[in-house]
C-alpha cells in the first residue's frame, strides 16, 4: 500500500522538481567497448570495462576523470550557498579533538588535533596530568596532509614505537620504528604491509607483523591481495632478514595475523577467510620454546573466535559458536578438546559487541537496541557491576593490562562529541577526563529511536535527530543514511558534518538495516548473499516510514551511504527512483559481478556471495547497480563520490556506474561524479579535503532538495 500511495504522490511531484531544474546537463562522451562475459550460460555486457584501468596509469581514464570533474566542479561552484556552507563547516571543525589515552610501559599515549590540522598529532606523557610531548606529527610528512599515521604499537618498556604511514589514503602501509625517549626514527623500514598491526615480543627487540608479497608491474593499487604472511622483524635489521613465522601457500586467500599475549608467553595466530570476523581459525606458538611448532587450537573455519587474553595456559575468546549474540569461553590448552571448553560469560539477550580483559576482569560491551551497555565480570563469570554511562549513546575503549586499576573510554552520541572518561576499575567510578568544545548547543537537538516494519514484516530500528521544534508537515529536508553489511553496527556517534546538516534545518535518519551486527549473527546473515535484497527493502521501508510520518516527502528525501553503503544507495535509487530527491553514493561497490577480482574484494564473498556460484550470480545480477540501470528512466539527482587512490573499493566501480547512469538518464536531474585526487577509501583523509567534500555534498543537497538554509555570510 505504501509503495503505491507514495509512487502516486511522487508522480505528482516529479514535474514540479523537473521544472525547477535548468536544462539537462551535457555529459562528457564516454566510449563503449565490445566486452561480453558469460556467467553460467548468461551473457552479460560490460561496455565500460576500460574504466577499470588504473587512473594513475591510464591516460584515457585520467582524461575521462578530468572531464567528469570539470563538469561537476562547474555545477557545484554555481550553487550560491556553497561558499557559506564551507565557511560554516570550517568553523564547526575548528575545535580541539582528542583520542582516549592508552598506557604502555608506564607512559600514556594519545592523539590530538588542535582544530583544523589535517592529521592528528601523537603525544606521550609520563602521567595523565604531566606535560605532554609531541612524539609524531604527520602534518610534517607532506605539505598537503595526505600522508597519515595509520597504525602504532609501543614496546612493553615504552622504549620503541612501531608506526605505520599511508599515502594518499591507500591501504598500503610503510612501517618504521621510533626511539620514544629521543623522538628520533631508526633506520627500520617495512614495506607492503596491509591490514596488519604490530605486536612486540616482551624483550622489546622486535615485533610480529603481516605483509603481502611485493606487487609486480602496475598491480599495486588493483591486483588482488594474496599470500598474506606473518613475519618477525628484529630492530636494526633490514626487512630482507625478517623471519618468516607462518604462511599458508595452500590457501593464498586466507588472512593471517599475529599477536603476543600480555604475559609474553604465546604468539596467537589468527587465520581468517572473510572480512566479518566470522570463520576464524586459531593457532598458537609457545615463545619460550625456540623450536616449538605452531599448534592448531581451532582448525576449522566455522565460527568467530576473537582472542581476549589469557591466564597462563587458559585462553579466553569472544565467540558466536552456539551463541549468535556472543559469549565468552575459556579453553585450557592442556586439554583443548571442545568437550572441555567452559562458558564464562553466557550469551545474553543483547548482542555482545566486544570484550576487554583489563584489571583482572572482563569488560563486556553490549548493544541493547543499538545503544551501549557495559557490564563487568570476573574470570569465573561472576557479575561485578554495570558501568554507569553518562547517557544513551556509544561507549568504546576500555583497553589496558590485567594489572591496571584504571582504563579510559570514549562516549559519544548524535548530539554529543566524543567525551573521554577515566574509569576506576576498583570503585567503578567514571570521571570526565577530556571534553571537546564544539560551537553548538546539544540541548537544541532531539535524538530519538523509532521502529518501523520492512517489506516482510521485520521490525527495523532507526535513529532520528533534528533541531527541536520541527513541524511534521512533510516539508523537512531529510538525509537517510544506511550501511547494512559485514556485521557492522551503526551506533550513535557524533559528526560535525551531520551537525551542520541538522543546523541547516535537515532531519538526520540512521537506519539499522539487516546485514549489520546490531542484533547478532542472525541479523547479519539475514542481509547477506542471496538475502541481500532484505537490506534494500529495509532501507526503502525507512524512506516510506519517514514520508508516511510526515517528516519529509520524496522530493525532500536525500539518501547517503559509503562503501557497502554506496552499493546500498546505488541499488535503491534504481529500484525506487520515485522515492528519493537526491542520492549520495560514496566509494561504492557498483559492479557485483567483478568485485572479487580487485585488491581486497575477494574477502567480501563471505557477505555478498560470488558470481562464480550460479544461485549467487543470479541474485547479484538482479541488484548490481552497474547492471541494473535501465535506459529511459528518470533517475533522481545523484552525486557519486570516489577517489583515485582508493585501493579498498577501486574507483573503477564508481567510474563505470557514473558512465552508465549518465547514458541511461532520461530526466533533467544531474548525475555527476566527484573524483578526489591523492585520497583513498576514507581513512587518513586530511581535514581540508573532508571540509571541501562535505561542502560539495551539502551544496548538492541544498540545491536538489530545494532547501533554504540560514547560513553565515
- Residues serving a catalytic function are 563, 646, 681
Alpha-carbon dihedral sign for residues 546, 547, 550, 555: positive
In angstroms, rounded to a whole number, what is the distance separating the alpha carbons of residues 73 and 118? 23
Q: What is the DSSP letter of 27?
A: P
Contact between 460 and 542 (Cβ < 8 Å): yes
Rg (CA), the chain: 25
Helix (H, G, I), strand (E, B) or coil at 335: coil
Contact between 492 and 371 (Cβ < 8 Å): yes
Angle among Cα 6, 12, 13 to the nearest 5 degrees reads 85
In angstroms, rounded to a whole number, what is the distance separating the alpha carbons of residues 443 and 485? 32
Contact between 218 and 205 (Cβ < 8 Å): no
525: buried, middle or exposed (CB in 10 Å: 19+, 13-18, 0-12)?
A: middle
In 549-606, at which residue ranges do the beta strands (DSSP E only) sit? Answer: 557-562, 582-586
Write down the residue that cell numbers 553514493 correspond to: 585
Residues 6+ apart with CB under 8 A from 372: 353, 365, 366, 389, 393, 394, 395, 396, 491
Helix (H, G, I), strand (E, B) or coil at 18: helix
Which of 568, 586, 533 is closest to 693 using CA atoms? Answer: 586
582: buried, middle or exposed (CB in 10 Å: 19+, 13-18, 0-12)?
A: buried
Helix (H, G, I), strand (E, B) or coil at 505: coil
622: buried, middle or exposed (CB in 10 Å: 19+, 13-18, 0-12)?
A: middle
Amino acid at each position: 500500500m505504501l509503495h503505491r500511495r507514495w509512487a502516486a504522490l511522487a508522480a505528482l511531484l516529479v514535474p514540479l522538481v523537473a521544472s525547477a531544474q535548468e536544462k539537462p546537463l551535457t555529459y562528457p562522451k564516454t566510449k563503449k567497448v565490445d566486452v561480453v562475459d558469460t556467467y553460467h550460460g548468461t551473457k552479460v555486457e560490460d561496455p565500460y570495462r576500460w574504466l577499470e584501468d588504473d587512473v594513475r596509469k591510464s591516460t584515457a581514464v585520467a582524461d575521462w576523470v578530468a572531464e567528469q570533474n570539470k563538469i561537476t566542479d562547474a555545477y557545484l561552484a554555481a550553487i550560491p550557498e556553497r561558499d557559506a556552507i564551507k565557511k560554516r563547516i570550517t568553523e564547526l571543525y575548528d575545535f580541539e579533538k582528542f583520542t582516549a589515552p592508552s598506557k604502555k610501559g608506564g607512559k600514556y599515549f594519545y592523539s590530538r588535533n588542535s582544530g583544523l590540522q589535517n592529521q592528528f598529532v601523537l603525544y606521550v606523557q609520563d602521567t595523565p596530568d604531566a606535560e605532554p610531548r609531541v612524539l609524531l606529527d604527520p602534518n610534517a610528512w607532506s605539505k598537503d596532509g595526505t600522508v597519515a599515521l595509520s597504525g602504532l604499537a609501543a614496546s612493553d618498556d615504552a622504549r620503541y614505537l612501531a608506526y605505520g604511514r599511508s599515502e594518499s589514503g591507500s591501504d598500503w602501509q610503510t612501517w618504521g620504528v621510533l626511539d620514544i625517549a629521543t623522538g628520533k626514527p631508526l633506520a627500520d623500514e617495512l614495506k607492503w604491509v596491509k591490514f596488519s598491526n604490530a605486536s612486540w615480543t616482551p624483550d622489546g627487540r622486535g615485533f610480529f607483523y603481516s605483509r603481502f608479497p611485493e606487487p609486480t608491474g602496475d598491480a599495486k593499487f588493483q591486483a588482488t591481495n594474496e599470500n598474506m604472511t606473518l613475519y618477525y622483524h628484529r630492530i636494526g635489521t633490514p626487512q630482507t632478514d625478517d623471519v618468516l613465522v607462518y604462511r599458508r601457500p595452500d590457501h593464498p586467500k586466507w588472512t593471517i595475523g599475529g599477536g603476543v599475549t600480555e604475559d609474553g608467553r604465546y604468539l596467537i595466530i589468527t587465520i581468517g577467510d572473510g572480512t566479518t570476523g566470522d570463520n576464524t581459525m586459531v593457532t598458537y606458538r609457545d615463545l619460550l620454546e625456540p623450536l616449538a611448532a605452531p599448534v592448531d587450537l581451532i582448525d576449522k573455519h566455522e565460527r568467530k573466535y576473537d582472542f581476549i587474553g589469557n591466564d597462563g595456559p587458559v585462553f579466553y575468546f569472544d565467540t558466536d559458536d552456539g551463541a549468535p549474540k556472543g559469549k565468552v569461553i575459556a579453553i585450557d590448552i592442556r586439554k583443548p578438546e571442545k568437550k572441555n571448553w567452559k562458558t564464562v560469560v553466557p550469551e545474553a539477550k543483547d548482542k555482545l559487541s566486544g570484550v576487554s580483559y583489563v584489571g583482572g576482569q572482563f569488560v563486556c560491551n553490549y548493544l541493547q537496541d543499538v545503544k551501549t551497555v557495559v557490564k563487568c565480570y570476573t574470570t569465573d563469570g561472576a557479575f561485578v557491576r554495570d558501568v554507569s554511562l553518562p547517557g544513551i549513546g556509544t561507549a568504546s575503549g576500555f583497553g589496558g593490562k590485567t594489572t591496571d586499576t584504571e582504563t579510559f573510554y570514549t562516549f559519544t552520541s548524535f548530539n554529543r562529541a566524543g567525551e573521554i572518561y577515566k574509569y576506576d576499575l576498583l570503585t567503578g567510578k567514571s570521571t570526565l577526563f577530556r571534553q571537546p568544545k564544539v560551537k553548538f548547543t546539544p540541548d537544541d537537538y532531539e535524538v530519538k529511536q523509532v521502529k518501523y516494519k520492512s517489506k516482510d514484516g521485520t521490525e527495523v530500528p532507526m535513529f532520528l535527530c533534528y533541531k527541536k521544534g520541527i513541524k511534521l508537515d512533510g516539508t523537512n529536508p531529510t538525509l537517510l543514511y544506511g550501511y547494512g553489511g559485514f556485521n557492522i553496527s551503526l551506533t550513535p556517534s557524533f559528526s560535525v558534518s551531520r551537525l551542520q546538516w541538522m543546523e541547516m534545518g535537515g532531519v538526520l535518519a540512521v537506519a539499522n538495516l539487516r546485514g549489520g551486527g546490531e542484533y547478532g549473527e542472525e541479523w547479519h546473515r539475514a542481509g547477506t548473499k542471496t538475502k541481500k535484497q532484505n537490506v534494500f527493502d529495509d532501507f526503502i521501508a525507512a524512506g516510506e516510514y519517514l514520508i508516511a510520518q510526515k517528516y519529509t516527502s520524496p522530493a525532500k528525501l536525500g539518501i547517503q551511504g559509503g562503501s557497502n553503503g554506496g552499493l546500498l544507495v546505488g541499488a535503491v535509487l534504481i529500484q525506487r527512483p520515485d522515492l528519493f530527491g537526491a542520492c549520495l553514493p560514496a566509494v561504492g561497490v557498483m559492479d557485483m559481478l567483478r568485485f572479487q577480482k580487485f585488491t581486497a574484494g575477494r574477502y567480501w564473498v563471505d557477505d555478498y556471495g560470488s558470481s562464480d556460484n550460479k544461485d549467487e550470480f543470479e541474485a547479484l545480477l538482479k541488484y548490481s547497480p552497474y547492471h541494473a540501470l535501465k535506459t529511459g528512466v528518470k533517475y533522481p539527482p545523484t552525486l557519486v563520490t570516489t577517489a583515485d587512490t582508493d585501493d579498498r573499493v577501486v574507483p573503477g566501480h564508481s567510474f563505470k556506474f557514473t558512465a552508465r547512469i549518465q547514458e541511461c538518464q532520461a530526466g533533467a536531474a544531474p548525475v555527476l561524479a566527484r573524483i578526489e585526487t591523492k585520497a583513498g577509501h576514507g581513512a587518513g583523509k586530511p581535514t581540508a579535503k573532508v571540509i571541501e567534500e562535505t561542502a560539495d555534498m551539502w551544496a548538492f543537497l541544498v540545491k536538489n532538495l530545494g532547501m533554504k538554509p540560514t547560513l553565515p555570510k
